[in-house]
Structure 1
Amino acid sequence: YGDMADDYVIMMQILAKKEVGDKDKAEVASKVSVQLLSTDPNASMKERIIKTSEKKGLYAAMDIAEIWLQRALAHE
């Protein structure tokens, strides 16, 4: 999530899903990993990870991702 031309981006991974609904069951993310990453090509992958968290649900993950990214880009 974000622009690779910026100094930071967000990577999210769905770690677990659950089914919701009675008739038409749909799968939704129940556990999501969120990482704030530097786009510095000279840094190792381990050095690129600035922050990491696991959230319950996609909404909570998107919420923290947006906050982290806005704050990181404001300090460029």
Structure 2
Amino acid sequence: MAAVKKKKGLMYKGKPLLRCGNRIYYGNLEDKLILALDIVESSKKQDVDVSTKVKVQIMDNTGELGKGQVYRKCERENLYKAIDIGEWWLQDAMKMMG
């Protein structure tokens, strides 16, 4: 019997990225905290939508996905800057939780 390959989704620094509409979740879904990135504004550049305003939130992930308490939030002007600060916050918060 041939081995079944498990399809891996998009990853960033070893953690999965999951997109639901204009929201991107970053982090392991089993962890107590998760990063939520909301694309608030975008513009067209060379026929590609590019985010120009992204809301970053560190939230509780013990209940329903996307419905937890928000611990920290900010806005950044592009997705790279948003995930950069969000990943750092998430890593720091996970260390503090033990």
State if a TM-score over 0.5 links the two structures: yes
User: TM-score, length-normalised on structure 2?
Assistant: 0.65
Match of 1:51, as an amino acid? R
Distance (whole Å) between structure 1 residues aligned to residue 32 and residue 62 of structure 2 = 7
Task: Give runs of aligned pairs for residues 62-73 of structure 1, distance below 5 A.
Answer: 62-73=83-94
Q: Which runs of 5+ in 1 are unaligned?
A: none
Segments ≥4 residues shifted beyond 4 Å = none
Corresponding position of 1:60: 81
Q: Could you state the TM-score of these two structures normalised by the residue count of structure 1?
A: 0.82
1:7-35 residue CA offsets vs partner (Å, 9 max, x unmatched): 210011100001112xxx21111100110
1:38 aligned to which of 43, 47, 60: 60
Q: Is this contact kept in 2: 1:40–1:48, CA < 8 A?
A: no
Counterpart for residue 11 of structure 2: none
Count residues with an aligned counterpart: 69
Select the residue among 6, 19, 39 that pairs with 1:14: 39
Q: C-alpha separation between the residues in 2 aligned to 1:59 and 1:39?
A: 23
Q: Which residue among 16, 29, 50 is the counterpart of 1:28?
A: 50
Alignment identity in percent? 29
Aligned counterparts of 2:29 and 2:93: Cα–Cα separation in 1: 14
